Chains A and B, each alone.
Chain A
Amino acid sequence: DTGVSQNPRHKITKRGQNVTFRCDPISEHNRLYWYRQTLGQGPEFLTYFQNEAQLEKSRLLSDRFSAERPKGSFSTLEIQRTEQGDSAMYLCASSAAGAMNTEAFFGQGTRLTVV
């Protein structure tokens, strides 16, 4: 499968714990995005990388959220000191740069449940 891969698919954690999610984009894509989706809502943009550079992070929900893409390939999203309100689906997407309007391809997401 050469699509966007996210791991784990499901994560249950206790409130206050830290969690980290991984995203492996389509190999030739240099743009990578993180979104969050809560029940009944459309996905909400969080952050964006072009190669290893994080070019937009102002939409990260709080300073408990951080993302990295150290070598310009896979990315991780970390949530520190999780809260019940962090329960959501976290989606990763990737796209190619250098062409007009290239579409984003999404992974299947990581569903986080904070108990």
Chain B
Amino acid sequence: DAKTTQPTSMDCAEGRAANLPCNHSTISGNEYVYWYRQIHSQGPQYIIHGLKNNETNEMASLIITEDRKSSTLILPHATLRDTAVYYCIVRVGGYSGAGSYQLTFGKGTKLSVIP
């Protein structure tokens, strides 16, 4: 799986949009971008994933650049409960593909939402 690079930490004011960047310059054509987050003392929580189109769900939006070498996770109105470590993961797609079962986590970005 391709390696990802994320800033170690970020701050965001409560109520503002949080924009979390991720670089994945070696991503392959069949690799998807996944985002998970981990609130202190809990297991990771799935947020969103995408291949090349922008995606949006009830939690966040995912913007993937046209060359797919980077992406941004957007939390539109950050709350204190969004304080967590956010992991960007690149993974081969397909339920039977090699490595499709495994998530390779880096150290992620620690997002602190400030009142």
Size range of the interface on B?
A: 20 to 34
**Chain A residue total in the interface (Cβ 8 A):** 30
**CB within 8 Å: A-B pair count:** 60
The residue from A41, A55, A93 contacting B43, defined by CB atoms under 8 A apart: A93
Is A25 in contact with chain B by the CB < 8 A criterion? no
Is B15 in contact with chain A by the CB < 8 A criterion? no
Per the 8 Å Cβ criterion, residues 7-45 of A in contact with B are 31, 33, 35, 40-45
B43 touches A109 (CB 8 A): yes
Which residues of chain A are near B44, meaning CB under 8 Å?
Answer: 43, 91, 93, 106
9-residue interface stretch from A66-74, A75-83, A96-104: A96-104
A106 touches B94 (CB 8 A): no
Q: Answer whether A104 and B95 are a contact pair too, CB < 8 Å, given A43-B105, A56-B102.
A: no
Report the Cα distance A107→B108, complex, angstroms.
19
**SS of B interface (majority):** loop
Is B68 in contact with chain A by the CB < 8 A criterion? no
Beyond the given pairs A33-B101, A43-B105, A100-B93, 12 more chain A to chain B contacts, judged by CB atoms under 8 angstroms and listed by A's residue number, are A41-B105, A55-B101, A56-B101, A56-B102, A101-B32, A102-B95, A103-B46, A103-B49, A104-B46, A104-B103, A106-B45, A107-B43
Q: Which B positions have Cβ atoms within 8 angstroms of A?
A: 32, 34, 41-46, 49, 85, 87, 93-95, 101-108
Q: Which A positions have Cβ atoms within 8 angstroms of B?
A: 4, 31, 33, 35, 40-45, 48, 50, 55-56, 91, 93, 95, 97-109
Closest 3 CB pairs of A and B: A42-B105, A106-B43, A103-B46
